[in-house]
Homo-oligomer: A and B are copies of this chain.
Amino acid sequence: MRLSRFHLHTSKETPAEAEIISHKLMLKAGMIRKLAAGLYTWSPLGLRVLRKVERAVREEMDAAGAIELLMPTIQPQELWEETGRWEKFGGQLLKIKDRKEAGYCYGPTAEEVITDFARSELASYKQLPVNFYNIQTKFRDEIRPRFGVMRAREFLMKDAYSFHLTEEDLGREYRNMYDTYGRIFQRLGLKFRAVFADTGAIGGSASHEFHVLADSGEDAIAFSSGSDYAANVELAQALAPGARAAASEQMRRIDTPVQKTCEDVAALMGIDLARTVKSVALTGEDADGQPQFVLALVRGDHVVNEIKLAKLAGLGNYRLATEGEIDAHLGSEPGFLGPVAPRAPIRVVADRSVAAMADFVVGANEKGFHLAGVNWGRDLPEPDEVADIRNVVEGDASPDGQGTLSIARGIEVGHVFQLGRKYAEAMQCTVLDETGRASVPLMGCYGIGVSRIVAAAIEQNFDANGIVWPEAMAPWHVAVCMINPKNDPAVSDAAQALYDELNAAGIEAVLDDRGLRPGAMFADIELIGIPHRVVVSERGLASGSFEYRHRRASEAENLDRAALLARLGVA
Stretch from A2-10, A365-373, A394-402, A437-445 that touches the partner: A2-10
Q: Do residues A139 and B74 form an inter-chain contact, with CB atoms below 8 A?
A: yes
Q: Is the pair B73, A73 in contact by a Cβ cutoff of 8 Å?
A: yes
A506: shortest Cβ distance to chain B, in Å? 16
Chain A contacts to B: CB under 8 angstroms: 5-7, 9, 30, 33, 35-37, 39-44, 46-47, 50, 65, 67-76, 91, 94, 96, 98-99, 102, 104, 106, 113, 116-117, 120-121, 127, 130, 132, 137, 139, 141, 143, 153-154
Whether the pair A35, B121 counts as a contact (CB closer than 8 A) is no
User: A156 — nearest CB in chain B belongs to which residue?
Assistant: B70
**27 pairs, CB–CB < 8 Å, chain A vs chain B:** A5-B65, A7-B69, A7-B127, A7-B132, A30-B121, A33-B120, A35-B71, A35-B72, A35-B75, A35-B76, A36-B74, A36-B75, A36-B104, A39-B76, A40-B72, A41-B72, A41-B117, A43-B69, A44-B68, A44-B132, A47-B69, A47-B70, A74-B139, A74-B153, A91-B99, A94-B96, A99-B141
Q: Is the CB of B130 within 8 A of A76?
A: no
A46 CB to nearest B CB, Å: 8
**Contacts A35-B113, A74-B153 supplied; 16 other A-B pairs, CB < 8 Å:** A7-B67, A7-B121, A7-B132, A30-B121, A33-B120, A33-B121, A39-B72, A39-B75, A41-B70, A41-B113, A41-B117, A42-B71, A44-B132, A47-B70, A99-B143, A106-B106
Which residues of B lie under 8 Å from residue A117 when comparing CB positions?
33, 41
Docked pose: A65 CA to B6 CA in angstroms: 9
Residues of B within 8 A of A40 (CB): 72
CB distance from A399 to the nearest CB of B (A): 38
Q: Which of B9, B74, B116, B127 contacts A121 (CB 8 A)?
A: B9
10 cross-chain pairs, A with B, having the tightest CB-CB distances, nearest first: A42-B70, A36-B76, A39-B72, A44-B67, A9-B121, A72-B154, A41-B71, A91-B99, A99-B141, A47-B70
Closest-CB distance, A100 to chain B (whole angstroms): 8
Would B99 and A96 count as touching, CB distance under 8 A? no
Number of copies: 2
- Considering the complex, give the chain B residue whose CB is closest to the CB of A120: B33
Closest to A152 in B: B72
**A7 to B120 CA separation, bound complex (whole angstroms):** 13
Residues on B with C-beta less than 8 A from A67 are 6-7, 44
- The residues of B that contact A113 with a CB separation of less than 8 Å are 35, 41
Cβ contact within 8 Å between A130 and B7 = yes
Bound together, the chains give a CA A275 to CA B137 distance in angstroms of 62
CB distance from A475 to the nearest CB of B (A): 12
A36 CB, nearest partner CB in chain B, Å: 4
Interface centre among A6, A70, A106, A141 (most CB of B within 10 A): A70
A68 to B1 CA separation, bound complex (whole angstroms): 13
In the complex, chain B residues whose CB is within 8 Å of the CB of A9: 121
> CA of A137 to CA of B71 in the docked complex: distance in angstroms?
11
CA distance A76 to B37 in the complex (A): 9
Contacts of A47 in B (CB 8 A): 68-70
Q: Is there contact, CB below 8 Å, between B41 and A74?
A: no
Return chain B residues, CB-CB under 8 Å to A99: 91, 94, 141, 143
Please name all residues of chain B whose beta carbon is closer than 8 Å to the beta carbon of A69 when the two chains form the complex: 7, 41-44, 46-47
Question: With the chains together, A121 CA to B29 CA distance in Å?
Answer: 12
List the B side residues contacting A106 at CB < 8 Å.
Answer: 74, 96, 106
How far in angstroms is the closest Cβ of chain B from A228?
A: 29
Cβ distance A467 to chain B, nearest Cβ, rounded Å = 18
- A120 to B72 Cα, complex, angstroms: 31
Q: How many angstroms from the CA of A22 to the CA of B42 in the assembled complex?
A: 34
Q: How far is the CB of A550 from chain B (nearest CB, A)?
A: 28
- Taking the closest CB of chain B, its distance from the CB of A163, in whole angstroms, is 10
